[in-house]
């Protein structure tokens, strides 16, 4: 009877349980992240902000209006003036809030900059799951800023 009280788990059994638990945890983490890392998300937001600043600088330098046109489904954007489109990660969610006059269709919209540096203003939301970055354009000054969303 005393002998049954000393029964327990062997080291091998404990290691096997730990390996199974670690594999399960790795699978859960992989499937719940949404596929875009925080660094990729922040990089995409910075790329959009750089494109907006480029459009503003082009408008001021050439003394002509310049636009950044965003393709929401294709996850890309381009600055007017014949530059090629810049692709963003495919698993990203993009939203554009801009002036009604700058909405081309459900997939495409733009933010326009004027020669004095002002703009139509707006916001590009770059998101993946619960995490998002807000790229804002002030309509009066054309200033571009990035904020981490709630």
Tell me: the pLDDT tens digits for 45-102? 999 999 999 999 999 999 999 999 999 999 999 999 777 899 999 999 999 999 999 9
Give the tens place of pLDDT for each residue, 105-149. Answer: 999 999 999 999 999 999 999 999 889 999 999 999 999 999 998
Angstrom distance (rounded) from CA 1 to CA 61: 92
More confident residue, 149 or 30: 149
Mean pLDDT of 22-35: 71
Domain at 131, CATH number: 3.55.40.10
CA atoms of 13 and 56, how far apart (whole Å): 64
Q: In the numeric block, which tokens belong to residue 45?
A: 């937001």
One domain, residues 62 and 126: yes
Q: 14: which 2 tokens?
A: 């404990």
Provide the whole-model pTM: 0.76
Over range 15-38, report the average pLDDT: 78
Could you tell me the pLDDT band of residue 29, with boundaries at 50, 70 and 90? low
pLDDT at 53: 96
The rounded Cα 97 to chain-centroid distance in angstroms is 15
Q: Are 7 and 80 in a shared domain? A: no
- Structural domain boundaries enclosing 51: 38-148
Total count of residues recorded for the chain: 150
Whether residues 24 and 47 share a domain: the answer is: no
Q: Give the per-residue pLDDT at 3.
A: 57
**DSSP at 64:** S
User: How much is the pLDDT for 118?
Assistant: 97
Q: Same domain, yes or no, for 44 and 109? A: yes
């Amino acid at each position: 009877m005393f002998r049954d009280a000393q029964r327990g788990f062997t080291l091998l059994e404990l290691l096997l349980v730990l390996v199974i638990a670690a594999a399960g945890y790795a699978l859960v983490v992989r499937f719940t992240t949404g596929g875009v890392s925080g660094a990729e998300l922040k990089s995409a937001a910075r790329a959009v902000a750089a494109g907006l600043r480029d459009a503003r600088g082009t408008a001021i330098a050439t003394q002509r209006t310049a636009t950044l046109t965003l393709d929401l489904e294709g996850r890309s954007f381009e600055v007017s003036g014949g530059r090629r489109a810049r692709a963003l990660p495919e698993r990203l969610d993009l939203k554009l809030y801009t002036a009604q006059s700058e909405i081309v269709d459900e997939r495409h919209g733009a933010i326009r900059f004027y020669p004095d540096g002002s703009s139509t203003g707006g916001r590009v939301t770059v998101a993946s799951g619960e995490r998002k970055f807000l790229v804002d354009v002030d309509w009066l000054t054309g200033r571009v800023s990035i904020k981490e969303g709630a």
